[in-house]
Amino acid sequence: MAQQMLLLTVVSMWLFTGYFLAEATYYNHHMYNRFRAHNHHVNMDNQLPPEVPVVAEPVASQRVNFSRTFYGIMFDAGSSGTRIHVYRFIQKDPAALPVLDHEMYNAVKPGLSQYVEKPDVGGETIRQLLKVAKKTIPKELWIQTPVVLRATAGLRMLTPEKAKVLLDEVKEVFDDSPFFVPNNSVSIMNGANEGVLAWVTVNFLTGHLYAKTRRTVGILDLGGGSTQMTFLPKLKKTVLNAPPDYIARFDLFNATYELYSHSYLGNGLFAARLATLGALGSDDLDWKVFRSSCLPKKFSEEWTFGDHTYKVSGIADGYAGYKLCYQEVLRVVKGIVHQPLEVKGSSVFYAFSYYYDRAVDSGLIDKDRGGTVEVRDFKKRAKEVCNKMTKYRPISPYLCMDMTYITCLLKEGFGFKDSTVLQLAKKVNNVETSWALGATFDYFRNLNIH
């Protein structure tokens, strides 16, 4: 087991290094030219890291006393929170390839999209997170450490004008910081790429990108505003039957990958709550109360998501419970989510974000260790939570709705079998399972150096 772990780490590191020759070249023109000479990128919709370049053996004198540490900062501006990832890389000699050494992670709530009316306060959340980066990165490296922010569903759901105000505010905070602010440092990422980059992160961290067998794992990401499913189809039929924009092609390590990847905007956990309540896109929010049999009967509160606040309650004089709730959430999923036939097979999927959080809240897995569950475990636990709402109320009044939605999304939405195994993981090899690492690879590859 220990040997396997070591091999995994070594393989992961080796794989990782391929991406980062690009970064290394940012400081070193000689290296950069070599990178250019050995990498041939096809310009595709889903930009991904480069092939592993051919690196010549260094001459002995170059190896003496060389060790360089460098960092990359990636912000994830999600609909329900903003997170910072600071990655540290070490390069042992000028020709050796850098390796991922450490990740620092921190997060704040709520997300940037909640600050439409006060963008300066939103900018302040970024400033606070940058303070953590300053503590993590040695001062002399600040000036050469790139800082990048990619926004997801929260900003996608705003009007372009509102989103721009927030992004401009972030850019100002970045410009005020001591870090290196590249072109296109602040932007909204497209949904399919979000899935692809999370797939790259997870398959990289689990060592699957290296395997000659081309066995990989799929990913399921459930955010607040959107949800992504991405996997490498085994059958040509899956590719042919998928809507054309659900297929992302890219070259990686001398192989061409054709991934099935789609992001459903409005099917994230919080957006789904609003849709279940019939509140998504509704007017008259000042007086309307949105009710659901997924909520405890006597529950009533105001709930804010994005740039709106909603009055929400249970149905005091009606029924609550799993069956009624399932009918309500079904409307949010039915006919909207595409079912790739292949998910009926035995593919392995890693599930994280709100899949993980709700599995923890409902007691399915341990908070720190994660674990393996079957789709039917979500269903079983959803039934229990909904039928004993008072017991679970202190954890969250929305737990029944959330668990039922997850069950419905997996079964009726994506079409998974009850027996499908899901690996619930917050971290792999001590690195967060999120698109942020994949996006960092992607960013470094696209760095426009002259």
Ligand X SMILES: Nc1nc2c(ncn2[C@@H]2O[C@H](COP(=O)(O)OP(=O)(O)O)[C@@H](O)[C@H]2O)c(=O)[nH]1
Of 31-39, 74-82, 177-185, 415-423, the segment contacting ligand X by CB under 6 A is: 74-82
Under rule CB under 6 A, residue 76 binds ligand X: yes
Tell me how far, at minimum, the Cβ of 128 lies from ligand X, in Å.
Answer: 17
Tell me how far, at minimum, the Cβ of 396 lies from ligand X, in Å.
Answer: 13
Binders of ligand X: how many residues, by CB under 6 A? Answer: 22
User: Distance between CA atoms of 264 and 228, rounded to whole angstroms?
Assistant: 6
**Phi, psi of 220, rounded to the nearest 5 degrees:** -125, 120
Name residue, tokens 């060389």.
66
Is 123 labelled a binding residue? no
Q: Single out the residue of 235, 155, 226 nearest to residue 192, CA to CA.
A: 226
Of 27-35, 58-66, 223-231, 362-370, the segment contacting ligand X by CB under 6 A is: 223-231
Sequential DSSP letters for 220-240: EEE-SSEEEEEE--SSHHHHH
> 293 is written with which tokens?
């049999």
CA dihedral 364, 365, 367, 371 (to 10 degrees): -150
Under rule CB under 6 A, residue 266 binds ligand X: no
User: Distance between CA atoms of 52 and 253, rounded to whole angstroms?
Assistant: 5
SS3 417: coil
Catalytic residue (one of 23, 103, 169, 194) = 194
Under rule CB under 6 A, residue 152 binds ligand X: yes
Under rule CB under 6 A, residue 83 binds ligand X: yes
Sequential DSSP letters for 160-204: HHHHHHHHHHHHHHHHHSSSB--TT-EEEPPHHHHHHHHHHHHHH
- The CB density around residue 135, as the number of other CB atoms within 10 Å, is 9
Task: Verify whether residue 194 is a known catalytic residue.
Answer: yes
Under rule CB under 6 A, residue 154 binds ligand X: yes
Among 17, 25, 39, 79, binds ligand X (CB under 6 A): 79
> 33 is written with which tokens?
């030219």
Give residues 160-219 in contact with ligand X (rule: CB under 6 A).
none
x/- mask, ligand X, residues 376-415, rule CB under 6 A, reads ----------------------------------------
Among 47, 80, 114, 201, binds ligand X (CB under 6 A): 80
Of 72-80, 132-140, 273-281, 319-327, the segment contacting ligand X by CB under 6 A is: 72-80
* DSSP run (H or E) holding 20: helix 2-25
Q: Where are the alpha helices (DSSP H) in 26-118?
A: 29-38, 60-63
> 399 is written with which tokens?
């737990």
SS3 135: helix
Sign (positive/negative) of CA torsion 122, 128, 133, 138?
positive
**Phi, psi of 204, rounded to the nearest 5 degrees:** -65, -50
Q: Single out the residue of 68, 76, 119 nearest to residue 93, CA to CA.
A: 68
Looking only at the bridges linking them, the beta strands covering 300-305 and 308-313 are antiparallel
Tell me how far, at minimum, the Cβ of 265 lies from ligand X, in Å.
Answer: 8
Under rule CB under 6 A, residue 75 binds ligand X: no
Under rule CB under 6 A, residue 49 binds ligand X: no
Give residues 224-243 in contact with ligand X (rule: CB under 6 A).
224-226
Of 67-75, 96-104, 221-229, 380-388, the segment contacting ligand X by CB under 6 A is: 221-229
Under rule CB under 6 A, residue 328 binds ligand X: no
Under rule CB under 6 A, residue 103 binds ligand X: no
Among 146, 268, 314, 413, binds ligand X (CB under 6 A): 268
Residue number with the smallest Cβ distance to ligand X: 78
x/- mask, ligand X, residues 344-383, rule CB under 6 A, reads ---------xx--x--------------------------
Task: Using CB under 6 A, list all residues that contact ligand X.
Answer: 76, 78-81, 83, 111, 152-154, 223-226, 268, 353-354, 357, 426, 432, 434, 436
Task: Give the annotated binding-site residues.
Answer: 224-228
Task: Give the annotated binding-site residues for ATP.
Answer: 224-228
The residues assigned a catalytic role are: 194
